[in-house]
């Protein structure tokens, strides 16, 4: 569920192969649009809403999913990314102060230009992790942080936002 301005965006789950992303008008509660980017082959997973763009993953459980940007007011497709992502069903994108998007994939984190969908960089996350965690951004430190788990061990993974290189990783005693 994402809210920005007058838009509320969510996924409407009917079945594993029928789950469109929907946008509602917060003033009236009316459905503005409903879009299935999978053409019945998976779920349309909304992962972010920023600057009147809805970011949606064609979620198929294959780690070979496509990222799209839709116009928030109409649901019209603006671009298809050159990045193949593989998020978990709970994945969300985060944005830096300039509007660039960061989203996890299968053992990677991607920085994506939200105007074009082009990948700026990709960075590996914790080696052999069971999956990438969601990132939290500290713009003042130019750093993104994820909490990863591998074999029962938790890691704090920090990367430089500008270039995607690893700043450090640290085992956490949780």
53: β partners: 50, 71
Q: How far lies 159's CA from each of 54, 95, 133, in Å? A: 25, 14, 13
Residue 79 is classified by DSSP as: E
pLDDT at residue 69, as a whole number = 97
Over range 88-101, report the average pLDDT: 82
Is the full-model pTM beyond 0.75? yes
The dihedrals phi and psi of 20, each to the nearest 5 degrees, come to -75, 160
Q: Between 80 and 60, name the one with better pLDDT.
A: 80
> Residue 74 pLDDT > 90, yes or no?
yes
pLDDT at residue 62, as a whole number = 66
- 140 SS3 class: helix
Whole-angstrom distance, CA of residue 2 vs CA of residue 93: 11
The dihedrals phi and psi of 139, each to the nearest 5 degrees, come to -60, -40
> Residue 66 pLDDT > 70, yes or no?
yes
């Amino acid at each position: 569920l994402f809210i920005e301005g007058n838009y509320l965006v969510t996924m409407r789950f009917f079945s594993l192969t029928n789950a469109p992303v929907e946008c509602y008008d917060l003033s009236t509660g009316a459905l503005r649009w409903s879009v299935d980017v999978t053409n019945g082959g998976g779920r349309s997973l909304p992962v972010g809403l920023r600057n009147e763009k809805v970011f949606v993953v064609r979620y198929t459980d294959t780690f070979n999913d496509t990222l799209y940007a839709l116009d928030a007011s109409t649901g019209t497709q603006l671009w298809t990314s050159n990045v193949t992502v593989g998020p978990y069903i709970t994945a969300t994108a985060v944005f830096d102060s300039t509007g660039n998007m960061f989203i996890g994939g299968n053992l990677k984190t991607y920085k994506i230009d939200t105007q074009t969908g082009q990948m700026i960089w990709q960075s590996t996350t914790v080696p052999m992790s069971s999956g990438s965690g969601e990132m939290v951004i500290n713009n003042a430190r130019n750093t993104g942080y994820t909490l990863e788990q591998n074999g029962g061990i938790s890691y704090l993974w920090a990367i430089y936002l500008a270039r995607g290189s690893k700043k450090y990783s640290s085992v956490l005693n949780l």
